A and B are shown apart, each in its own frame.
Chain A
Amino acid sequence: MDIRVQEAPFDLGVETNAFAERQTGMGAVVTFTGITRDLPGGMDKMVIEHYPGMTENALQTIAEQALTRWDLGDILIIHRYGDLAPNDRIMMVATASRHRVDAFEAAEFLMDYLKSRAPFWKKEFGPDGTEWVAAKDADEAALNRWKPASNP
Chain B
Amino acid sequence: MDVLYFAWVRERIGIPKEAVETKAKTVAELVDELRQREERYALAFADLTALRVAVDQELCEFDANIENAREVAFFPPMTGG
Contacts and interface: CB of A to CB of B under 8 A. Distances in A.
Contacts of B6: 49, 51, 119, 121
Contacts of B76: 121, 132, 134-135
Interface in A35-66: 49, 51, 53-54, 57
Contacts of A121: 6-7, 75-76, 78-79
Contact of B57 (A54, A115, A133): A54
Interface of A: 34, 49, 51, 53-54, 57, 79, 90-91, 111, 114-123, 132-135, 140
Given A51-B57, A90-B81, 8 more contacts: A34-B81, A54-B54, A118-B78, A119-B78, A121-B6, A122-B79, A132-B7, A132-B79
Nearest to A113: B80
Nearest to B57: A54
B14 interface: no
A57 B81 contact: no
Contacts of A117: 59, 78, 80
Contacts of B10: 49
Interface in B62-81: 73, 75-81
Interface of B: 4, 6-8, 10, 54, 57-59, 73, 75-81
The 10 closest A-B pairs by CB, nearest first: A135-B77, A121-B7, A120-B80, A54-B57, A115-B81, A118-B80, A133-B79, A114-B80, A122-B79, A132-B8
B79 A135 contact: yes
B32 to A, nearest CB: 24
A interface, over-half SS? mixed
A63 to B, nearest CB: 13
29 contacts: A34-B81, A49-B6, A49-B10, A51-B75, A53-B57, A54-B54, A79-B80, A91-B81, A114-B80, A115-B80, A116-B77, A116-B78, A117-B59, A118-B80, A119-B78, A120-B79, A120-B81, A121-B6, A121-B75, A121-B78, A121-B79, A132-B7, A132-B76, A132-B79, A134-B79, A135-B76, A135-B77, A135-B78, A140-B77
B12 to A, nearest CB: 11
